[in-house]
Amino acid sequence: MHKRTLGTSGLEVSTLGLGCMGMSYGLGPAGDHDEMVRVMRDAVDLGVTFFDTAEVYGPWVNEELVGAALAPVRDQVVIATKFGFAFDADGRQTGLSSRPEHIRQVADASLRRLGGEAIDLFYQHRVDPDVPIEEVAGAVGELISAGKVRHFGLSEAGPGTIRRAHAVQPVTALQSEYSLFWREPEESVLPTLEELGIGFVPFSPLGRGFLTGTIDSSTTFAADDIRSSIPRFQAEAIDANRALVDLLERIATRYDATTGQVALAWLLAQRPWIVPIPGTRRTSRLQENVGAAALELTAADLAEIQEAGAAIVVQGERYNAAMQATIDRS
């Protein structure tokens, strides 16, 4: 697989990464440990060098899984993890926390779980309104100086926050949702990243599975699957949004490709410093996703997607109310 550099940071990763959250958390019961280890090692064999996790996924168990799976190849891969949540003694989330002392504690704990000499990319998972972003950036900068972290990232941060953080400690990458299912970053986030030389790591690049064409109005989600509470995945919205999948299918038939591959190829065509991180629990789906890196859409294809996509108004919010409240738009 080809590689890309995240902005001007010099951090080189595979063109597509692997989002590991769903292996342990958020999309129903956790996958079998040994099978998930095999999937991650298959990813390495396919050329994937960029893996994404977070302390909140579980919490903690996903970092432990990723650390165990990648231990034999730790010096060959880039692992990104995240800080920004607080937990009680039983592991329940109690809100946001990006206090400098908390960041330092999380870094030490995450590094123990992940292994290696340093955390390759350390994102603030959500902007904490109670802690100035300058203090957050400064704390991560100290960890970088101490050799515990190599690169600083933000997640779901607005343009103003990105600028303020970057002025204190250069931001290597922003991670936020971006796909044909959610294009808001095009308005002000992408121009800001381009100006500042920051890479972009889209999560949910397949619209949490919707853009693969495998979800319809009869699909049911387990109570511990976050999609069960997301308005965009209610039956009426799914039916209304089917037009987006139909558009991808038209393009896919020209290349003997899948709708998911076209969705990923479209993302890769937007900027050379965009590195999507689709998640999966299956090697077959992993192979399909990796195949998207070799699919080059023509200018005519991209124009068709742009024109037809502009006429499709996606129905339903992308998050429930509680999740929406954590998004920074400053």
Q: Mind telling me the catalytic residues? A: 57
Q: Which two tokens stand for residue 256?
A: 């003997």
Half-sphere exposure of 196 (CA within 13 A, CB side): 25
Rounded to whole angstroms, how far apart are CA atoms 160 and 8? 19
- The label of the residue with tokens 């996509």 reads 309
Q: What 3-state DSSP class applies to 184?
A: coil
Question: H or E element: which one contains 217?
Answer: none
Q: For residue 300, count other CB atoms closer than 10 A to its CB.
A: 8
Name the nearest CA neighbour of 197 among 178, 221, 165, 173: 173
Rounded to whole angstroms, how far apart are CA atoms 306 and 129? 35
What is the distance in angstroms between the CA of the first residue and the CA of the last residue of the chain? 36
> Quick check: 121 and 153 in contact, CB under 8 A?
yes
- Per residue, the 3-state secondary structure of 88-137, as one string, reads CCCCCEEEECCCHHHHHHHHHHHHHHHCCCCEEEEEECCCCCCCCHHHHH
Interhelix angle 133-145/100-114, nearest 10 degrees: 40
